[in-house]
Amino acid sequence: MKDHAQIGHELDLFHLSPVVGKGLPLLTPRGSTILRILKRFVEDEEIRRGYEYTNTPFLASDQLYRISGHWDLYRDNMFLIPDNEGKPGESFLALRPMTCPFQFQLYLRKGRSYRDLPIRYAETSYLFRNEASGALHGLIRTRQFTLSEGHIICRPDQVADEFLAALALVKYITTSIGLSGCWYRLSTRGEEVGGKYIDDPAAWEQSESLLQELLDKTGESYRIAPGEAAFYGPKLDIQYKDAWGREETLFTLQLDFALAGRFGMTYINQAGKPVPPLIIHRSSIGCYERTLALLLEHYQGQLPFWLAPEQIRLLPITELGLSAATKLREQLSEHGVRSSVDSRLESLGRRIQDAHQLMIPLMVIIGEREAVNDDVSIRLYGQKESLTMKTAVFTEWICQASRLRIVHLEVQTKPTKHTH
């Protein structure tokens, strides 16, 4: 069993530079490709499910965080920059630790009525948290990270459906990336009153019992974790056992009765009165960097076919093979399949070994005979035998596998049916 940092190094996915700083990993082109595929997948799926995407700034004045409560409860974890145009020692700009207060400002930019809700804002947000250097680790604990963040602003009669829809999205995403075996944890305020939590006992009771009711309705089993809530409300954590058997929180859905009031967010209800909406804070794939780390450990580097940065390596023999491989690469690229041609003057054995080291899911060997017959000889990662098939059959099969987000390619059954 290897740690994600070791796998990331071996597969050339990310780099830690002491000059850049602690907890600030740099993703290589290969690592960036995986994150880009994941982000596009999540963004497209969320838009399909009725989310609207926003782009909000990386930093804001301390005023914003004073309203949200982050200034009082979370300031030690934030990166602060003195604002030279404000009062010395009092005015700051701060890098954002989350996107909620920014999206709330977008909600506030115009009047809302009960008919405008729900509003589902999503953002692929870049966040900053000033973690102690001792706690930093690879892609799992960093000082800057990317979150699939979203806020659903809704009426009380919509909150149950919206919460369940957010949960269904989480389930769809976890299944698609192959992280199965998740369970639920209901994080409540517990015995603690005030302190790190917003002081509004009635709202806490109301939101904690609503979440419990919703969970009971789904019939899923869950565990209650007192003292694990967010400072503005209880949350449902989707828990996962990592490759080492350690419990991790993958994603969270939070129910928030408090922040709309603090920000003065309202909508006009059916009786014509302004009332505060409810807010669900949610993530659908969690922190991208950490999810990548968990995937690397879960699959021990052998990523699902649709996520592999380089899905296919083409290995030509002779000039004729090279021109066929180049043509095939262009064809695959037109269908969004990621491949490259290794035309180095190394032996075939050496080139196979190099592709194997990078855990590329599929190798395609094209020699003189294959090129003349319009065939390809394919070999899956970890297998010793090759299989010959018509180039057109191969292309159709592989483009479909990529489009359908196939986790593991199966070569024995389907392609052999079509050979010759």
Contacts with Zn ion by CB under 5 A lie at 100, 281
CB of 100 to Zn ion, least distance (A): 3
Judged by beta carbon, residue 100 or residue 341, the one nearer Zn ion is: 100
Is-contact 259 230, C-beta < 8 A?
no
Judged by beta carbon, residue 92 or residue 263, the one nearer Zn ion is: 263
Alpha helices (H) along 222-317 = 259-263, 288-298
Is-contact 140 298, C-beta < 8 A?
no
Residue 313 has φ and ψ, to the nearest 5°, of: -115, 125
CB of 243 to Zn ion, least distance (A): 29
Judged by beta carbon, residue 100 or residue 152, the one nearer Zn ion is: 100
CB of 23 to Zn ion, least distance (A): 22
C-alpha 315/C-alpha 339 separation (Å) is: 11
Judged by beta carbon, residue 281 or residue 298, the one nearer Zn ion is: 281
CB of 141 to Zn ion, least distance (A): 20
CB of 101 to Zn ion, least distance (A): 8
CB of 254 to Zn ion, least distance (A): 7
3-state helix, strand, coil in the chain (%, to 5): 40, 25, 35
What's the Cα-to-Cα distance from 298 to each of 150, 201, 243, 310, rounded to whole Å?
A: 26, 41, 5, 19
Judged by beta carbon, residue 235 or residue 329, the one nearer Zn ion is: 235
C-alpha 306/C-alpha 403 separation (Å) is: 8
Beta bridge partners of 146: 126
Residue 21 has φ and ψ, to the nearest 5°, of: 130, 165
CB of 214 to Zn ion, least distance (A): 19
Q: What six digits make up the tokens of 337?
A: 């399949």
CB of 123 to Zn ion, least distance (A): 10
CB of 249 to Zn ion, least distance (A): 15
Q: What six digits make up the tokens of 51?
A: 């989310």
Judged by beta carbon, residue 281 or residue 290, the one nearer Zn ion is: 281
Judged by beta carbon, residue 100 or residue 255, the one nearer Zn ion is: 100
C-alpha 292/C-alpha 41 separation (Å) is: 14
Judged by beta carbon, residue 138 or residue 150, the one nearer Zn ion is: 150
What's the Cα-to-Cα distance from 68 to each of 98, 142, 183, 258, rounded to whole Å?
A: 11, 23, 30, 9
Q: What six digits make up the tokens of 37?
A: 């595929």
Nearest Cα to Cα of residue 243 among 179, 304, 194? 179
For residue 288, count CB atoms less than 10 angstroms from its CB and return exposed for 0-12, middle for 13-18, buried for 19 or more.
Answer: buried
Judged by beta carbon, residue 122 or residue 380, the one nearer Zn ion is: 122
Judged by beta carbon, residue 67 or residue 320, the one nearer Zn ion is: 67
What's the Cα-to-Cα distance from 123 to each of 29, 165, 290, rounded to whole Å?
A: 23, 18, 17
CB of 255 to Zn ion, least distance (A): 11
Instruction: Please name the amino acid found at residue 202.
Output: A
